[in-house]
Amino acid sequence: MSKRNLCKFGLVLTAVLLLNACGFRLQGTGSLPEGVADVYVQTNDRFTYFYRSLRDELELRGATLAAGPESADMVLRVIEDSRGQRVSAVSIRNTPLEFEVFYTVEYAVQVGEQQVLEPTRIVTKNRYEYDETLVLGKEEERDMLASAQAKDIARQVMMQLSAL
């Protein structure tokens, strides 16, 4: 191995060790609390972006989705799962130029008979420019933003669960 390659290897190894020492973890590598293997997600709608993202995050961490609350180690109750948009800027002709897209999730967590996490609300907001000549493309952009926001919220929920 050449001196230059050995130096690069040493720098990379040092960086990895420093990141590991400070507690850095890649997203998605957190774990669920000890003794939690089966999770029941109580929600009114199993087809939202958030539910699908949360399901994926739970499965990534090795959890099994329980069929009902009685067979679960943990019950995550989704109180609110909503998204929407509002106009944030208009032109002088009073047509929308920019929208703010928001995604709101409120949830609580119960283990056994004990509520371990009181109702918690997470809201994400993003903005996108609107062009009335590109309506279909802008609708797709809005949906992509909502999907990304739901994934972000699901990761935040998982971080809170791993801290329990």
* Domain extent at residue 98: 32-162
Domain assignment present for 23 = no
pTM: 0.77
Domain assignment present for 21 = no
Q: What is the pLDDT of residues 38-65, one digit of tens each?
A: 999 999 999 999 999 999 999 999 999 9
Could you tell me the CATH number of the domain that includes residue 144?
3.30.160.150
Domain assignment present for 6 = no
Domain assignment present for 4 = no
Domain assignment present for 10 = no
Q: How many domains does the chain have?
A: 1
Neighbours of 140 (CB within 10 A): 11
Calpha distance 71→16 (Å, rounded): 41
More confident of the two residues 32 and 37: 37
Domain assignment present for 91 = yes
Q: What is the pLDDT of residues 90-111, one digit of tens each?
A: 999 998 999 999 999 999 999 9
- pLDDT class for 28, splitting at 50, 70, 90? very low
Residue 126's alpha-carbon distances to 50, 86, 154, in angstroms, are 16, 11, 16
Domain assignment present for 93 = yes
Cα torsion 50, 55, 58, 60: sign: negative
